[in-house]
């Protein structure tokens, strides 16, 4: 009955019950998280999304919201038999001005970048998954990506958002401003809420003119100089990206690309600077005597980036990785590889990530530790906490880390209270982020 009502709303072609059609929505792209769903629902408009959620709310039917299915923490697949609501068809894109783009939740990052590019602008969040990752999911996880040092994460780009609540009500603008509607903070709850409070339907995001000149450097960094190098490049006004990886990672990328690695060392930093005047001189000064390959020609710069962007796929070729997306203070960077390796004697460890400064100014890094082989996940989390880090950085808590979030019950209490009020039947992503008894 519920499904036929839903099919009447979205059309039978967009209520997928055939197991073959559902299959790609039931497993995450890494193959680690797999569930089953009675159907995949693909609303084609905000009105349809509202109507679908109203029906699910009425029936007490849990849903999992899915965008490009590029998530890495099991937050977008129906692990408990939920209905999948795919926002993939909500892909509208409109350039409002040279500073503002409006995107449907299902628009891919790549399409948003093209839209920004059409007015000579760029968008502040970028990741190798750009052709699949969707704006709604990136907001829900507060994705950081490779330019986080410059622009901050997804939440910092949000100018406005329209959401649909669990009962189907549509709030077209969370950022109402003006004499009768002073700006309020509802929108700040959205980034990182992982779809448990509301479903993002569309968002207005900030874009900015692209600087004319670019310099990209891949730099060999001995462990003892890592912190000072990162602080040095991080202080450049032109800094756009500080990516960290090391010998095992660059070799992995090189073998996938069929090329030889340009450099290899304890650590490699891939640094990008952009400004209207040439940023290469200032960058070279900070790099000093460290061995480096520097590109000022954008196409050579892109060649260097290939070695960084090949890592996720490279690891997946070796097997289904255990993925840890963690935040580590710079002071812990030198120890992280050795400490994690010691904690997983039967695993092969790969480490890469993005360096930046926390809002409070503390230098930190979002690190992606990928391990192939036998892994005691809790031992890895313990290592990270012992280094003063935290167990989640930019991919979300999802289902994978919920049990660890339980340790932060006091921090989660306000979020849980919001959830109870906005989604009293707990139908939105019920197995995500919050522990079950919250």
C-beta of 85 vs 233, nearer to ligand 2HG: 233
C-beta of 67 vs 162, nearer to ligand 2HG: 67
Separation of alpha carbons 436 and 430, rounded Å: 8
CB of 249 vs ligand 2HG, minimal distance in Å: 10
Q: Are 55 and 3 in contact (CB under 8 A)?
A: no
Q: What angle do CA 153, 157, 159 make, to 5 degrees?
A: 145
C-beta of 62 vs 363, nearer to ligand 2HG: 363
The secondary structure of 153-213 as a DSSP string is SGGGGEEEEEEE-TTS-EES-S---STTS---GGGGGTTT-TTSS-EEEEEEEEEEEPPSE
Separation of alpha carbons 191 and 202, rounded Å: 13
C-beta of 69 vs 312, nearer to ligand 2HG: 312
Neighbour count for residue 400 (Cβ, 10 Å)? 25
Coil, strand or helix at 304: helix
CB of 72 vs ligand 2HG, minimal distance in Å: 6
CB of 153 vs ligand 2HG, minimal distance in Å: 12
**Which positions touch ligand 2HG (CB under 6 A)?**
72, 127-128, 311-312, 323, 368, 370
Coil, strand or helix at 264: coil
CB of 214 vs ligand 2HG, minimal distance in Å: 20
CB of 336 vs ligand 2HG, minimal distance in Å: 14
Q: Are 127 and 389 in contact (CB under 8 A)?
A: no
Residues listed for the chain? 438
**Quick one: tokens of 186?**
């509802």
CB of 312 vs ligand 2HG, minimal distance in Å: 3
């Amino acid at each position: 009955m519920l499904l036929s009502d839903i099919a009447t709303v979205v059309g039978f072609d967009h209520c997928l019950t055939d197991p073959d059609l559902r299959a790609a929505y039931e497993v995450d792209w890494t193959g680690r998280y797999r569930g089953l769903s009675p159907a995949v629902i693909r609303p084609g408009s905000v009105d349809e999304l509202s109507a679908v959620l109203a029906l699910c709310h009425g029936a007490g039917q849990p849903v999992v919201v899915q965008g490009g299915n590029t998530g890495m923490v099991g937050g977008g697949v129906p692990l408990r038999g939920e209905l999948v609501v795919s926002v993939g068809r909500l892909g509208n894109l409109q350039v409002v001005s040279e500073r503002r783009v409006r995107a449907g939740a299902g628009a891919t990052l790549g399409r948003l970048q093209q839209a920004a590019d059409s007015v000579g602008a760029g968008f502040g969040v970028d990741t190798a998954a750009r052709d699949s990752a969707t704006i709604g999911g990136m907001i829900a996880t507060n994705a950081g990506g490779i330019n986080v040092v410059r622009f901050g994460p997804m939440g910092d780009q949000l100018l406005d958002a329209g959401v649909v609540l669990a009962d189907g009500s549509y709030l077209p603008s969370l950022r109402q401003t003006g004499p009768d509607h002073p700006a309020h903070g509802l929108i700040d709850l959205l980034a990182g809420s992982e779809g448990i409070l509301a479903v993002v339907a569309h968002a207005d995001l900030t874009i900015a003119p692209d600087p004319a000149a670019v310099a990209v450097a891949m730099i060999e960094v001995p462990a003892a100089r890592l912190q000072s190098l990162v602080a040095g490049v991080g202080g450049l006004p032109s800094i756009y990206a500080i990516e960290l990886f090391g010998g095992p990672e660059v070799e992995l990328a090189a073998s996938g690309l069929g090329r030889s690695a340009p450099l290899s060392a304890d650590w490699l930093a891939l640094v990008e600077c952009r400004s209207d005047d040439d940023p290469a001189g200032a960058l070279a000064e900070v790099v000093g005597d460290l061995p480096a390959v520097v590109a000022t020609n954008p196409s050579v710069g892109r060649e260097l980036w290939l070695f960084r962007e090949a890592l996720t796929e490279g690891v997946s070729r070796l097997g289904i990785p255990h993925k840890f997306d963690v935040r580590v203070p710079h002071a812990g960077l030198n120890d992280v590889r050795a400490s994690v390796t010691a904690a997983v004697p039967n695993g092969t460890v790969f480490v890469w990530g993005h360096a930046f400064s926390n809002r409070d100014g503390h230098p930190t890094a979002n690190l992606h530790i990928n391990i192939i082989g036998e892994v005691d996940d809790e031992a890895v989390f313990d290592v990270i906490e012992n280094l003063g880090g935290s167990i989640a950085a930019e991919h979300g808590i999802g289902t994978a880390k919920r049990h660890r979030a339980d340790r932060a019950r006091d921090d989660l209490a306000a979020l849980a209270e919001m959830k109870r009020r906005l989604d009293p039947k707990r139908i939105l992503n019920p197995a995500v982020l919050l522990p079950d008894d919250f």
